[in-house]
Amino acid sequence: MSGADGTRGGVRTVVHRLSWGVADQAVSSLSNFALGLFVVRAFGASGLGAFTLAFVTYTVLLNASRGLATDPLLVRFSAATAGPLRRASAASAATALAVGVPAGAVCVAAGLLLPSGVGPVFVALGFGLPGLLLQDSWRFGFFAGGRPGAALVNDLVWTLLMVAGLATLHLTGSGSVTRCLAVFGATASLAAVVGAVQSGTPPRPSAVPGWLREHHALSVRYLVENVSISGASQLRSFVLGAVVDLAALGYVRSAEMLMGPFVVILMGVCQVAVPEASRVLHRAPSRLSRFCFLLGAVQAAGAVVWGTALVLLLPHGAGRLLLGGAWDPTSALLVPVALAVAAGCFSTGATAGLRAMGAAPLSLRAQLIASATYLVGGTGGAILAGAPGTCWGVTAANTAGALVWWYHLRTALREHPSPAIGALR
């Protein structure tokens, strides 16, 4: 095979794996979009605001689980053989459960103390958290093992179960925001059981201490890194809800939901970006920077195209059909939300490169700076100008954050040009 043929074959292989990641994320995001759409149409912007407070809390805990469990799995076992990978996946899944069970208990306790408008939602989230985090860990285990089709099947199972549950609530007239969250968690738990069957091995709780010790250098940094950005998003949501009201938070969430079909692509690529960047690093380290830039640029272009389509097409009836009475306030937020997503795309490329190199200290520093910028922009904008202010503040913050991430990736490439050294950091 000639060098050109080998290169084309390698590109096709990468595109194939990326396509599986996009397809899987499409199913996952479709389920989240359907859930959010069901809530906003059935219970209005205020109901979606209460749902959002619980959902961003789930996101914080999901990212904590990923930092401790699945991020080290992706970085260190994407090229592993079947035996070590299976043991690592079982340990990673058990670590996710070790996060989900106590975190769920805390959510239940907090829900019992919170006001009636949001308290029951947190109780429902707490009961579902162990299954939610376990299901996510199986997905990433499949991606690390080069089995994206298995992740897709698992998310299809979850989505079908959840849609059936929401349809039952609608048909029986027994729906509420709390019951929607309960369906979300219960169906994820069922999908987690299916994931264990697909994996061929159950979680191994006895392996959790060893997993945390072995991957301490990466996991602690990734834990702080992951929680910093999702925690900043959570604080932004709570500040907006407190300073304005839950409806304003619902409008922001509605605008973000409308970007969902594009975010499908963004998140789908992100799921497999670290393993692909790791492979580029080991095959041709000089190409890593170009790979990461193209990854971010293509996604950013897609965000601009999708955002433009929303601004031009949805005012002609489709927006009101989707969101009902929430459409008019939401439409004013589409431009800054789309630009914020586009700016954030450039950060994802640099993030993949730093994680593939195992450059956890630089990655952590970049994330902390970017998260602080996001927190200042998002909360400052909310205080000064409500929902529009927080959206434009996040746009500015994401733009600055992308520059921070790329500065740190370039620093890592200058300091550690050897893939062997980068992988051991």
Whole-angstrom CA distances from 45 to 39, 243, 383 are 8, 16, 19
The tokens describing 222, both together, are: 């990734």
Per-residue pLDDT band for 420 (boundaries 50, 70, 90) equals very low
Complete DSSP assignment for 188-253: HHHHHHHHHHHHTS---GGGHHHHHHHTHHHHHHHHHHHHHHHHHHHHHHHHHHHHT-HHHHHHHH
Give the C-alpha separation, 218 to 31, whole Å: 31
Whole-angstrom CA distances from 237 to 14, 29, 52, 71, 122 are 37, 20, 8, 26, 15
Q: What is the pLDDT of residue 425?
A: 40
Listed residue (349, 339, 341, 328) closest to 410, CA to CA: 349
Tell me, what amino acid is at 185? G
Tell me, what amino acid is at 309? A
The number of beta carbons lying within 10 Å of the beta carbon of residue 267 is 18
Whole-angstrom CA distances from 102 to 95, 97, 129, 250, 322 are 12, 9, 9, 29, 37
Q: What is the pLDDT of residue 86?
A: 87
Give the C-alpha separation, 47 to 40, whole Å: 6
Complete DSSP assignment for 28-68: HHHHHHHHHHHHHHHHHHHHHHHHHHHHHHHHHHHHHHIII
Whole-angstrom CA distances from 241 to 236, 256, 342 are 9, 16, 25
Give the C-alpha separation, 16 to 308, whole Å: 28
Give the C-alpha separation, 290 to 194, whole Å: 38
**Each residue of 232-241: pLDDT tens digit?**
888 999 899 8
**Each residue of 66-122: pLDDT tens digit?**
999 988 888 788 767 778 888 999 999 999 999 999 999 999 999 999 888 889 999
CA angle 46, 52, 56 (to 5 degrees): 160
**Each residue of 130-171: pLDDT tens digit?**
999 999 999 888 888 878 889 899 999 999 999 999 999 989
Average pLDDT for the chain:
85
The tokens describing 122, both together, are: 């947190």
The tokens describing 262, both together, are: 């594009």
**Each residue of 274-309: pLDDT tens digit?**
777 877 777 777 788 888 888 888 889 988 999 998
Does the pLDDT of residue 345 top 80, yes or no? yes
Listed residue (163, 160, 165, 158) closest to 188, CA to CA: 158
Listed residue (43, 180, 201) closest to 124, CA to CA: 180
Give the C-alpha separation, 187 to 124, whole Å: 13
Q: What is the pLDDT of residue 41?
A: 83
Name every residue whose Cβ is closer than 8 Å to that of residue 414 and which is 6 or more positions away in sequence: none
Listed residue (387, 330, 325) closest to 41, CA to CA: 325
**Each residue of 377-408: pLDDT tens digit?**
999 999 999 999 999 999 999 999 999 999 99
Per the rule left: phi > 0, alpha: psi between -120 and 50, beta: everything else, 324 is left
